[in-house]
Structure 1
């Protein structure tokens, strides 16, 4: 018994499988094989039927969707009137692109503008369109396309506005309306570099008055020279008798 080999009594048998393809012909796309009878009946029943009585030469009229006009919100009209009155009383109207900010950053920006006598305004684009359409401020509407904010000032403080922009990273200046003139950022920088208005007015008055002063000088120069020459001649004629009297 000890010399017999130890083999299991039951062994597992795995059959060998092999895939065999009997059809070697590739499918013919140009002349396909007719389907089965039941499949052919199903395809015949589900085939769509089109109306061929219509004349294909006639132009097909495009279907225009009905445009439903949105009703105007009375509250937005009130806000638009308020916004328009603020614009009328302001000398500088600056439009900024507003980046995502929290309320804490917005409060700091409002406080910074308030110290410079400026005001931060935020109205929706719909309110801005109602306020500016058909008015003097309509050229500003192309700037109100995305998230925008408006800064107004009753004083002509363009230089202060450009300095404050560097301290407000949450907004980007796009343009401004200064005393009725629309300016880009480059124009605002040039405008801020100019001297005050009183100095420019004085320079203009001096430039305009220079030709008149020159003409007046040229007209009176010969008369002044003649009168001074006559006065010197008279003084020379009257001087010798006085000297002779002193000598006697």
Structure 2
């Protein structure tokens, strides 16, 4: 025991010290948010990965049945269908153009050639296919509003009229302009009624001209006969209307 408890305590040299858990006063860790440096923000934005866009949108690869039915409905329910070439323009101008056209009951339809061309190729409007070669829009109306449509498009140089189908008749741009110059239906009806009323009056004048001329000749002959019996000169015959010129 003396040796164990001796002055050098040799056994303690190889003894591992006991672990002591000292609980210090806990201190709350507070981290203040610091904004990212502007240069680092730009670097992160430039190096951000962007997935490549497909060359053709998926919606254009397989036309949806609803869009095909919409195109068929447009050509079935409208008397005037104008095909126009559409160039990019600000959204405010598009809204303004639609507003002025809607005042005349004309609607703007944005369509894809990949959907329109298969529909037209199997219909009576297949002769319109050469017009669908670029980005196109349709101006459609259940009424014949060619004059009003041209007046609106005159102030929109980004939209060029290529042709139209009016009452199942395909017209070029010049044909649409000539159609717009025609008088309205009411005026045309009035002109037709006037022409039909003029024909019977002219026919009646032609039929009355012969009998009136014959009557005048007979009256002149009778007067001459009467003048020869009495020996007096014949009186001048009164002027008779010939019933026409």
Name the TM tier (shorter chain): 0.5 to 0.7
Corresponding residue for residue 87 of structure 1: 75
- Tell me by how many angstroms 1:223 deviates: 6.3
- Tell me by how many angstroms 1:95 deviates: 0.8
Contact 2:63 2:114 in 1 (8 A): no
**Secondary structure of 1:195's match?**
coil
Contact 2:78 2:140 in 1 (8 A): yes
State the TM-score, normalizing by the size of structure 2.
Answer: 0.56
Corresponding residue for residue 177 of structure 2: 189
- Tell me by how many angstroms 1:146 deviates: 0.6
Pair 1:128 & 2:116 matched = yes
- Tell me by how many angstroms 1:221 deviates: 5.3
Corresponding residue for residue 73 of structure 1: 62
Gaps of 5+ in 2: 1-60, 216-245
| Cα deviation digits, residues 132-163 of structure 1 (max 9, x gap) | 12212111111111111111011111110110
Contact 1:173 1:185 in 2 (8 A): yes
Pair 1:113 & 2:101 matched = yes
Corresponding residue for residue 99 of structure 1: 87
Cα RMSD of the aligned pairs, angstroms, is 2.8
Contact 1:156 1:178 in 2 (8 A): yes
**Secondary structure of 1:172's match?**
strand
- Tell me by how many angstroms 1:216 deviates: 2.2
State the TM-score, normalizing by the size of structure 1.
Answer: 0.55
Moved over 3 A (4+): 204-212, 220-226
Contact 2:84 2:162 in 1 (8 A): yes
- Tell me by how many angstroms 1:208 deviates: 4.5
| Number of aligned positions between the proteins | 157
Corresponding residue for residue 229 of structure 1: none
